[in-house]
Amino acid sequence: MGLYVGANRAQIAHAGFFEPRQGYHVNSMNPEHRAVIDAEHLRLLAIFHFVAAGLSLIGVLFSLLYLVLFEVLLANPEVFAQAQQQQQQGPPPEQVMMFFRGFLVTFVIWFLVSAVGNLLSGMFMRTRRHRAFSMIVAGINCLHIPIGTTLGVFTFVVLGRDSVRKLYEP
């Protein structure tokens, strides 16, 4: 079984798994075929966790950009000088400003935790370690609608299989 984990397509074809015979299909009940299927699913999940980490880092960058723009625009007294002349209004109250800052900092922290978690989960899937950690990250990913939800559900499905569970055992 361990012989086919990480095998490339030529090795798998040479082993006779995908012979071009009519009516031939991969039997998922065959332990050797199951090992190849599980290895491929784990490889794909690891790649998608790396993609999710990249998307989370993009979320961090956008949140930081928004925070900087927010601070620069609202810290500039000239922005409110025109508003005061036209409508007699000043800058928003400090409580509102603190709420927006807290909201943006929370998003930055959330995206950072998600990026690090997905990165670690992808690396752990490649080495077949820390299955429970990957399940926790899958649960967190389910909150990232719609892409993260899909990734989280597929991670639960693949890591929940008995054959995959055995791959994680020492």
Please report the pLDDT score of residue 89 as a whole number: 60
Q: What is the pLDDT of residues 2-35, one digit of tens each?
A: 445 555 555 555 555 555 455 556 666 777 788 8
Residues 45-84 as b or e (16 or more Cβ within 10 Å = b): bbebbbebbebbbebbeebeeebeeeeeebeeeeeeeeee
Please report the pLDDT score of residue 1 as a whole number: 42
Cα–Cα distance measured from residue 43 to residue 37, given in angstroms and rounded to the nearest whole number: 10
